[in-house]
Amino acid sequence: MPTVIQDSRTKEVLMVGFMNSQAFKKTLQTGKVHFYSRSRQTLWMKGETSGNFQAVKEILVDCDRDSLLVRVEQKGGAACHTGYRSCFHRKVGNKGLVAVRQRKVFNPKKVYKKD
């Protein structure tokens, strides 16, 4: 199900992911956010490569029980795989996407090295 990840302290939306039942159970068991990648068809823990994991503080479900809001403590400073604190770092203006609103927390080329 669609899952919104929100900073528990600031209420900033950090990212949106997808949890299947296995990812949800693993999240509950470990206290760290897990997702299911539909493109790779695999379970993964947020931060397993970057170290920027998300400690669960609270999980809420919507009235239709088909999406989640997970409030987390973001460890490592960045939720976005592109190096920004939030995946929502671009703003839409009258002429399309405008300047990035955040500074990068890390360099993704150094973190996600490919062998």
Question: How would you write the pLDDT of the chain (115 residues) with one tens digit per residue?
Answer: 999 999 999 999 999 999 999 999 999 999 999 999 999 999 999 999 999 999 999 999 999 999 999 999 999 989 999 899 999 988 888 888 876 777 888 888 888 876 4
**What torsion, rounded to 10 degrees, do the Cα atoms 54, 1, 9, 49 define?**
20
The whole-model pTM stands at 0.88
Give the C-alpha separation, 23 to 20, whole Å.
5
Strands (E), the chain: 2-7, 13-18, 34-37, 42-45, 54-61, 68-74, 90-93, 96-100
pLDDT tens, residue by residue, 33-66: 999 999 999 999 999 999 999 999 999 999 999 9
Nearest CA-CA partner of 115 in 67, 49, 46: 49
Angle at 29 between CA 84 and CA 7, to 5 degrees: 30
Q: Return the CATH number at 96.
A: 3.10.20.810
**If DSSP codes are grouped into helix, strand and coil, which group holds residue 44?**
strand
Domain span at residue 77 reads 2-111
How many domains does the structure of the chain reveal? 1
Beta bridge partners of 70: 5, 59
pLDDT of 86 reads: 93
pLDDT confidence of residue 115: 46
